[in-house]
Amino acid sequence: MELLAAVRRFLEREVVPRLEGPDRFHARVAAHVVGMVAREIETEEGQLLGEWRRLGDLLGGAGARPASRQELRGALASRSRELALRIRAGEADAGSWRERVLDHLRQTVADKLDVARSPRHP
């Protein structure tokens, strides 16, 4: 993580001030991306576990949680797809399940924004 912080500092302090125009913009973006990666490394495990648990509560029938991070990401994408299909079938149009779906989505999106922490988004 200190490595990433060092790369980011280098970009922000040494590279960006020496460039102009589109190159300067891209260097700023690069520094921001490095920051994103560092935050993701720090928070990903907790976020994935949280999402797995919430989707298990919402959809039921989770099965055993995949052992590796890679497999967990894949399984979460499948579960999200399942949620999307049920939403598109109208199951979340009203009622208490809609509220629970909204709670889950708010948390998931807040997690993503935490990592992305776009400079223009509050």
Minimal distance in Å, beta carbon 22 to another protein? 5
Judged on CB neighbours under 10 Å (0-12, 13-18, 19+), 83 is buried
**Residues near another protein, by CB under 8 A:** 21-22, 25-26, 29-30, 32-33, 36, 77, 80-81, 83-84, 87-88, 90, 92-93, 101-102, 105-106, 108-110, 112-113, 115-116, 118-122
Report whether 23 contacts 30 (CB < 8 A). Answer: no
Minimal distance in Å, beta carbon 31 to another protein? 10
Judged on CB neighbours under 10 Å (0-12, 13-18, 19+), 35 is buried
Minimal distance in Å, beta carbon 78 to another protein? 9
